[in-house]
Structure 1
């Protein structure tokens, strides 16, 4: 039996009825969205999870000297679909558009087993959104720059790289 309190909390979270938080300081102008966000919904209990299908073209992985996270975000899951990484994320907001970028330093490390791995950072830009609704979104990223760098360094067409995500225990294996 469900308690009425939980239904009210879920409804408030979905509708963003908690309103904006108080904010201090000046708002900065932000660049246009990097990735169009698409709402995701969990399947009813007992039903299998549907494959992730991002609504927009994947944004390319960005190679930067010092990748760093921006606003708070929880990486819920990652799925590799060919050269595309599809990430399901969760964060607060609901009043302004949010953008996501996948950042990488351009270097490979070796795992304890000697396998190549890449440390990726999922950067979330909330654009000053102070609303408190809990949002679930899907963002997709093209891993072509990582594959190209690996091929240049290893002089081989095919390989595999373990993907690690800063601030998360999730990993993925990118095989090409």
Structure 2
């Protein structure tokens, strides 16, 4: 047991790791490297010129956008979904850290039938990285207002109360929106 410790001390002395180099011809001592960042939890940011997205799920959610052909943009992993009344709160993970990222919840406006016979909406969570090539692992939370989905269901089904199964393109995670 003493040999590895003694060998380490001898090796350290030979390599000069006992302290800063002397002032006679040695290099300046370098500060220790900054600790590696762990995944961060931060609010969604909007690109310059656009209003800032919500900082937390309890701030104003962004509206669900109905578009003819919703499509994913930059890579994103959907970690979880939670429904809080008419608001969908999503937790996502992706790389980045140098530029602002934005998220949109897209839907084509149509319903399919689920295996249980309920209405099902196929949603796309579109992530825009704005060319961010940094590789930090980011965890973010964004919230979206599901009012357009509820309104379309009510128009088609002539009722006030219902349920819609929410499915997300590229993910096995689902949610059940009841109103």
* TM category, shorter: 0.7 to 0.9
Maintained 8 Å contact 1:35/1:140: no
1:35 aligns with 2:53: yes
Give the Cα–Cα distance (whole angstroms) in 1 for the partners of residues 39 and 147 of structure 2.
37
Give the number of aligned pairs.
Answer: 139
- Compare relative contact order (CA 8 Å, sep 6+) and give the higher one, 1 or 2: 1
Give the Cα–Cα distance (whole angstroms) in 1 for the partners of residues 39 and 120 of structure 2.
40
Paired residue for 1:6? Answer: none
Paired residue for 1:21? Answer: none
Give the Cα–Cα distance (whole angstroms) in 1 for the partners of residues 59 and 165 of structure 2.
25
1:78 aligns with 2:81: yes
Give the Cα–Cα distance (whole angstroms) in 2 for the partners of residues 102 and 59 of structure 1.
8
Residue segments in structure 2 that go unaligned for 5+ positions in a row: 1-34, 41-46
Paired residue for 1:138? Answer: 141
Q: CA deviation at 1:34?
A: 6.7
TM-score (norm 1): 0.73
Give the Cα–Cα distance (whole angstroms) in 1 for the partners of residues 110 and 167 of structure 2.
13
Q: CA deviation at 1:114?
A: 1.4
Give the Cα–Cα distance (whole angstroms) in 2 for the partners of residues 104 and 95 of structure 1.
29
For 1:150-169, what aligned pairs fall within 5 Å after superposition?
150-169=153-172
1:12 aligns with 2:41: no
Deviations 1:50-71 (A, max 9, x none): xxx5153100000000000000
**Match of residue 96, structure 1, among 99, 104, 110:** 99
Instruction: Report runs of 4+ in structure 1 exceeding 6 Å deviation.
Output: none
CA RMSD of the aligned region, Å? Answer: 2.1
Paired residue for 2:16? Answer: none
Maintained 8 Å contact 1:34/1:101: no
TM-score (norm 2): 0.72
Q: CA deviation at 1:31?
A: 6.6
